[in-house]
Structure 1
Amino acid sequence: MTRTEASMDALRQVGDELADATVAALFARGEVGRFNSLMRYFSTVGAPLPDGLPDVAREYLEATSAPPAWVDWDEMEKARLFFIDNDVHVSTALSFASMPACYVVPPVAKLLSTTHGLKYPSRRMAETGQFTVYLMRPDAFEAGSRFIPAAQKVRLLHASIRHHLARENRWDTGALGVPICQEDMIGGQMFFSLLVLDSLHRLGIHMSTEGAEAYYYAWRVVGAMLGVDQEAVPTTLGQARRFLDLYMIRHMGPSEEGVVLTRQLIDLYEEVVPGRFFDPLVPALIRHLVGDTCADWLDVPRTAWDTVARTVPRLLGVLETIEDRSPLGAWALDRLGHLATVLELSSLTRGRVMHYAIPEELKADFGVPRAVPRTRRWTPPAPTDLP
């Protein structure tokens, strides 16, 4: 698929027709409050839809209640095992690379700073972490799981943000495109998939080609369930590289909103990290993963720990050697990684389940085997030769 400025511009003018129509109808009929109240009791696959649910909401939930028919379940299982094998590394990449990458795209940073949730970065990080954990459970698409209802609600949340910004005339669609447009949704999919893989590579994590491709595939499935146009989304890592390179060249740069959001993110994780001694490691990891240019745009402070962060790949290399040579060591490190991820998520959620709801207004307060053998080591697709 050939990407051009014109084709990317076209994606900026498109939202999510199904979710947008559902949200517009709920607001027009004054049914948002009733919908949110009832949906708190609908959080698992297979549970009956609540009585009294607005008809338009019931139709939407029934239409989006299953994953795409084209899903390859063997590939999804590979992705799940890849995540289990690398969960703490994936969490690190999501926190210290994917989120700052969002902030280095000024239209996205402006959108995030406009919506209520980013006044509380712990909530957004908790929702992202919880969503990823739901996705990577073995029963993610089976009765009793929480992933599909979470995806359905997130899709409506995005549509509600588009609705509010348009209704309140708080967004320059001509200059910025539709809020949470198709280009930005695909860009976000790249941040949570390809950029995570890039970050793992930068950290020196030994990934197989099969595992990396499966992880990217899983996020293609997520994109489809969140309303991403499957005719426009890259289907291979090579295509993803070309899309992401063009997307970043078109949009990345400094912004006041990006600086504020990054400062909130750093403060958040400095609170999560016990004590004060390791606090400088947070900005050091961000700078290591996003590079000096982007880090300077985001006003990420330079610290004496910047050099320490560059030694992380060697440390992780030692740990991977232990994993490869010792089944007991591999088991212990996998359990330690899982525990670290759970503790991080628990700190962000304060032990609560995060509920996704349609905001009525944009208020300011708003024992597992390794995935695949460590063969055919993955290397990132080469940068695109763009003018």
Structure 2
Amino acid sequence: MTHDRPEAISPMTYTIESMDALRRQGDELADATVRELFEHSEVGRFNTLMRWFTVSGQVLPEGLPEVARDYLEATRLPPDWADWGIMERAREFFLDNNAHISAALAFASMPAGYAVPHMARLLSATHALEYPSRRMAETGQFTVYLMRPEAFQAGGRFIPAAQKVRLLHAAIRYHLRQQGRWDEAALGRPICQEDMIASQMGFSLFVLDALHRLGVRMSPEGAEAYYYAWRLVGVMLGCDPAAIPPDLSAAREFSDLYWVRHMGPSEEGARLTGQLIAMYQEVVPGTLVDPVVPALIRFLVGDTMADWLKVPRSPWDSVAALVPTLLGVLERIEDRAPYGGRLLDLVGQLATSVELTALTRGRVMHYTIPDELKREYGVRTAGRWVPPAPSRAAF
């Protein structure tokens, strides 16, 4: 698929008006594909056949609906402006920090997504998306697919996963609009351009913020490369290339405005966070370190957001603040020991692998189009967030 080159687009200035415009936009290609699949009752057949389509370059299965075949052909390539030198730097950045990035995704990005009330309610729209274990498993697997050397080559698993996730988002938009269960006049389109871009900020900018909070040393070039990789991913997931922030500075501008517009407490956000904490505590055997989970979340997202999400306080909160010191010791070992860096990288890869295996139960996660949404789902209009007084642990 040919995408507009970012270099040919003037940097976007983010304002209330421009963000409102993004709330009215969806993903035209994916939306049209899903709409036709539902109108011709071909979703079940599509999902069944897609279980066997898992790697790039694989021959598309026989019997695939024509509209789905056209979509998969149109989205089978990354943007033509992709810089593979930068992508390789992003992969190296991930390998050097994979355990820290996994922790940032788990204890910062996932909870932060629940601090946007309309997104927290949307995540309760289907049984599949509601359960944190499945979302975390899919997120972790998706990230690992992206950072593999063969991600964009024949045999890589990333592009088929991205193609399916894009259709999953379109299916949720379809259901909410068809069933009249989304206040579009007040909230814009479900999973609109603004929310999709903000999600990419969660995987990139918010992860980098969490790494900084943990005391992880990062070069500006490495951080920019990591953000670049997720900007490319955003385009492949249906984000408008002209609207995605081109660099970290612009990403900060977008993210700050988005959080001020939409961040706040909700019952759904607190419930999902409680489920997330319980899931993490189940993954680790025993109960000795159970209090560390909420303490680490509170440390990474800050007291204000943690209170909104009803993350419990405990004496372990002060212990979590010592994590940067511990990581500093490990980094000194990495710098001074002949094989320290390689050893710590291997430990990080092992930790990420064990975490992902525990969440996926060793299975490949399949991204399918939901046939329906939960019956009790609905979205209430929420007022805009009034910024609170600064908290000592807020970003």
TM band (smaller chain)? over 0.9
Give the letter for the 1:218 counterpart.
Answer: A
What residue in structure 1 maps to residue 14 of structure 2? 3
| Cα deviation code 1:158-201 (max 9, x no counterpart) | 00000011111111111121111000001111111001001000
Which SS does the other structure have where 1:143 is aligned?
coil
Give the letter for the 1:269 counterpart.
Answer: Y
Alignment of 1:270-281 (within 5 A): 270-281=281-292
Whether the aligned pair in 1 keeps the contact of 2:125 and 2:374 (CA below 8 Å) is no
Alignment of 1:238-277 (within 5 A): 238-277=249-288
Which SS does the other structure have where 2:123 is aligned?
helix
What residue in structure 1 maps to residue 371 of structure 2? 360
What are structure 1's unaligned runs of at least 5 residues? 365-382
Which SS does the other structure have where 2:325 is aligned?
helix
Of the three residues 315, 324, 338, the one matched with 1:313 is 324
What residue in structure 1 maps to residue 345 of structure 2? 334
What residue in structure 1 maps to residue 39 of structure 2? 28
Distance in 2, matches of 1:213 and 1:300, equals 31
What residue in structure 2 maps to residue 112 of structure 1? 123
Alignment of 1:70-81 (within 5 A): 70-81=81-92
Distance in 2, matches of 1:206 and 1:179, equals 37
- Cα pair distance change 1:33/1:277, threshold 3 Å: same
What are structure 2's unaligned runs of at least 5 residues? 1-11, 376-389, 391-395
Distance in 1, matches of 2:249 and 2:131, equals 35
Distance in 1, matches of 2:374 and 2:37, equals 19
Whether the aligned pair in 2 keeps the contact of 1:155 and 1:226 (CA below 8 Å) is yes
CA-based RMSD of the aligned residues comes to: 1.1
Whether the aligned pair in 2 keeps the contact of 1:118 and 1:261 (CA below 8 Å) is no
Give the letter for the 2:99 counterpart.
Answer: V
Distance in 1, matches of 2:353 and 2:373, equals 30
What residue in structure 1 maps to residue 154 of structure 2? 143
Distance in 2, matches of 1:327 and 1:341, equals 23
**1:178 is the counterpart of 2:189:** yes
The Cα of 1:121 is off from its aligned counterpart by 1.4
Distance in 1, matches of 2:13 and 2:62, equals 47
| Cα deviation code 1:119-163 (max 9, x no counterpart) | 321111100000000000001001111000000000000000000
Give the letter for the 1:312 counterpart.
Answer: V
What residue in structure 2 maps to residue 134 of structure 1? 145
What residue in structure 1 maps to residue 201 of structure 2? 190
Distance in 1, matches of 2:119 and 2:39, equals 27
Distance in 1, matches of 2:338 and 2:184, equals 55
Distance in 2, matches of 1:342 and 1:192, equals 19
What residue in structure 1 maps to residue 56 of structure 2? 45
**1:161 is the counterpart of 2:172:** yes
- TM normalised by structure 2 equals 0.91
Distance in 1, matches of 2:183 and 2:246, equals 31
Give the letter for the 1:290 counterpart.
Answer: V
Residue identity over aligned pairs, in percent, reads 70
Of the three residues 88, 91, 97, the one matched with 2:99 is 88
Whether the aligned pair in 2 keeps the contact of 1:20 and 1:163 (CA below 8 Å) is yes
What residue in structure 2 maps to residue 16 of structure 1? 27
The Cα of 1:363 is off from its aligned counterpart by 4.5
Of the three residues 298, 306, 309, the one matched with 1:298 is 309
Give the letter for the 1:230 counterpart.
Answer: P
Runs of 4 or more above 6 Å deviation: none
Give the letter for the 1:235 counterpart.
Answer: P
Distance in 1, matches of 2:105 and 2:142, equals 12
Distance in 1, matches of 2:128 and 2:331, equals 37
Distance in 2, matches of 1:119 and 1:272, equals 18
Whether the aligned pair in 2 keeps the contact of 1:121 and 1:268 (CA below 8 Å) is yes
The Cα of 1:237 is off from its aligned counterpart by 0.5
What residue in structure 2 maps to residue 282 of structure 1? 293
What residue in structure 1 maps to residue 215 of structure 2? 204
Give the letter for the 2:274 counterpart.
Answer: R
Which SS does the other structure have where 2:121 is aligned?
helix
Give the number of aligned pairs. Answer: 365
